């Protein structure tokens, strides 16, 4: 008589972690714990090298980055890869730049895994709009300047299905993700729909890293700012009156430095 034995597969868990915009100090404690506990870390192109340096050597590191014009893997393949590791009983940490639920396709990955009975824990991260603008001294809202903000992505499979007329007329801050390659089109479209061409704009490159660069100007100069300074991705575009605050902070900092030098000179003269 044959003895039939049954075996059950113990599925691993997946932590879907938002790594924030670049500075490892902006990782949440929960994100750090998930990364440290992982057997496998699957990470994106937008996860900064500073954050990658925090990945434990004991874990397997798998790069699945997607950049404009070059995808190492299609999204469907990434979904399958995450599931395959989890089905081996491994603890998987899927690390995504910013917040996984803000233009990060984290919702798609979560649903794909849940449909296969794989437990998913989502760890929110600081989205680029908040992190990069803050590091550039640009508040997203400011009394008297903007009572709200709108996030949009300029990346779409076919065309941008956005009500540009409404965006141009809102007295709000407009933050555009993945808009660098469409800077001229964005500039012309907003002006065409009635936005004042002197509206302040900022482009923030490599936000929240040691390589951050910020360039400011007016809406009519948006494309020129991007090309003249040879801005590279990742970059964020901020449009609105709040951009003026950064220049005010810069002026105050320069004033403080001049006053400090003046005080030092006075002390030396009277010593």
Asked if the structure places residue 253 within a domain, the reply is no
* Residues 65, 45: Cα–Cα separation, whole Å: 4
Question: Is 39 an active-site residue?
Answer: no
Query: Could you give the strand order of the β-sheet that contains 14-18, starting from the edge strand earlier in sequence?
Result: 60-63, 40-43, 92-96, 14-18, 120-123
Asked if the structure places residue 254 within a domain, the reply is no
CATH number, domain with residue 54:
3.40.1010.10
pLDDT of residue 71: 57
Could you give the C-alpha distances from 136 to 94, 147, 210, 254, in angstroms and in order? Answer: 28, 19, 12, 16
Contacts of 72 by beta carbon, 8 Å cutoff, 6+ apart = 63, 64, 65, 66
Asked if the structure places residue 265 within a domain, the reply is no
State which of 126, 151, 183 marks the end of a domain: 126
**Same-domain check for residues 226 and 168:** yes
Asked if the structure places residue 261 within a domain, the reply is no
> Which is catalytic among the residues 30, 33, 39, 66?
66
**Same-domain check for residues 108 and 152:** no
**Same-domain check for residues 116 and 163:** no
Asked if the structure places residue 242 within a domain, the reply is yes
CB atoms within 10 A of CB 166: 10
Q: pLDDT tens, position by position, for the chain (271 residues)?
A: 444 444 566 899 999 999 999 999 999 999 999 999 999 999 999 999 999 999 999 999 999 987 665 557 899 999 999 999 999 999 999 999 999 999 999 999 999 999 999 999 999 999 999 999 999 999 999 999 999 999 999 876 555 678 899 999 888 999 999 999 999 999 999 999 999 999 999 999 999 999 999 999 999 999 999 999 999 999 999 999 999 998 777 656 665 666 666 655 444 444 3
Per-residue HEC secondary structure of 98-159 comes to ECCCCCCCHHHHHHHHHCCCCCEEEECCCCHHHHHHHHCCCCCCECCCECCEEEEECCCCCC
Question: Is 33 an active-site residue?
Answer: no
**Same-domain check for residues 65 and 134:** no
pTM of the full structure = 0.85
Domain that holds residue 112: 14-126
Asked if the structure places residue 258 within a domain, the reply is no
**Same-domain check for residues 80 and 182:** no
> Which is catalytic among the residues 23, 44, 99, 182?
44
**Same-domain check for residues 71 and 180:** no
* Residues 210, 164: Cα–Cα separation, whole Å: 34
**Same-domain check for residues 106 and 181:** no
**Same-domain check for residues 141 and 243:** yes
Asked if the structure places residue 161 within a domain, the reply is yes
Asked if the structure places residue 144 within a domain, the reply is yes
The tally of domains found in the chain comes to 2
CATH number, domain with residue 191:
3.30.950.10
**Same-domain check for residues 150 and 228:** yes
């Amino acid at each position: 008589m044959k003895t039939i034995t049954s075996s059950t597969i113990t599925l691993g868990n997946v932590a879907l972690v938002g790594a924030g915009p670049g500075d490892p100090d902006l990782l949440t404690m929960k994100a750090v714990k998930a990364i440290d506990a992982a057997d496998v870390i699957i990470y994106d192109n937008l996860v900064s090298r500073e954050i990658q340096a925090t990945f434990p050597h004991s874990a397997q590191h798998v790069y699945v980055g997607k950049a404009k014009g070059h995808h190492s893997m299609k999204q469907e393949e990434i979904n399958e890869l995450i599931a395959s590791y989890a089905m081996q009983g491994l603890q998987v940490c899927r690390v995504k730049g910013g917040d996984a639920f803000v233009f990060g396709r984290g919702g798609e990955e979560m649903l794909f895994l849940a449909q296969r009975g794989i437990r998913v824990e989502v760890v929110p991260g600081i989205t680029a709009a908040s992190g990069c603008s803050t590091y550039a001294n640009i508040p997203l809202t400011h009394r008297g300047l903007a009572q709200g903000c709108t996030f949009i992505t300029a990346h779409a499979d076919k065309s941008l299905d956005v009500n540009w007329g409404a965006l141009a007329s809102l007295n709000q801050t407009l933050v555009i993700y993945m808009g660098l390659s469409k800077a001229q089109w964005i500039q012309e479209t907003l002006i065409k729909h009635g936005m004042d061409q002197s509206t302040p704009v900022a482009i923030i490159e490599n936000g929240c890293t040691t390589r951050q660069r910020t360039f400011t100007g007016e809406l009519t100069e948006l494309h020129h700012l991007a090309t003249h300074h040879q801005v590279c991705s990742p970059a964020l575009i901020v449009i609105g009156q709040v951009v003026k605050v950064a220049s005010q902070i810069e002026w105050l900092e320069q004033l403080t430095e001049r006053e400090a030098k003046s005080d030092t000179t006075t002390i030396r003269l009277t010593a």
